[in-house]
Amino acid sequence: MKQEIERKFLVTGDGWRKEAGAGISCRQGYMTVGPSNVTVRVRLLGEQGFLTIKGPTRGVSRSEMEYEISAADAEYMLAHFCSGGLVSKARYNLIHNGSRWEIDEFSGENAGLIVAEIELEQEDQPFEKPVWLGEEVSLDRRYTNAALARKPFKSW
């Protein structure tokens, strides 16, 4: 079982854009966000579909299992199985001083929100923060994609 250790930050300015490649369209929805804090997500990232199950979050860590599914299955699940709203964004990947960053530029009801994430091997692993990083929001649950599907950024 994979352990996801992730730190999340707001992005300030456009300095990251010169380091990023082309963005990939991403739509995702949630089938379960229950009292057990287990999340079941379906995602269409470009032309690839994924089904992901995430366990409860403890600090910046949580267990995660992800499976590739067909794009057609992902489209069907997004249309018929997901409760709450869908999250739409462009995802950019970039390497900054040896660290891989994913930057999500949200659209739709979450337009105006840009978040950068870094996955780590250990919770206390050091990394260099790019100048375009703003406030850390790793522990603020409002910034999880599941929360943004239920209560979009524009409604805050």
The residues assigned a catalytic role are 30
Q: Return the number of other C-beta atoms located less than 10 Å from residue 44's C-beta.
A: 23
Helix (H) or strand (E) holding 130: none
**DSSP β-ladder status, 83-96 and 2-11:** unpaired
Is 101 in contact with 116 (CB distance < 8 Å)? yes
Rg (CA), the chain: 15
Whose tokens are 């994430």? That residue is 117
Per DSSP, the three-state class of 125 is coil
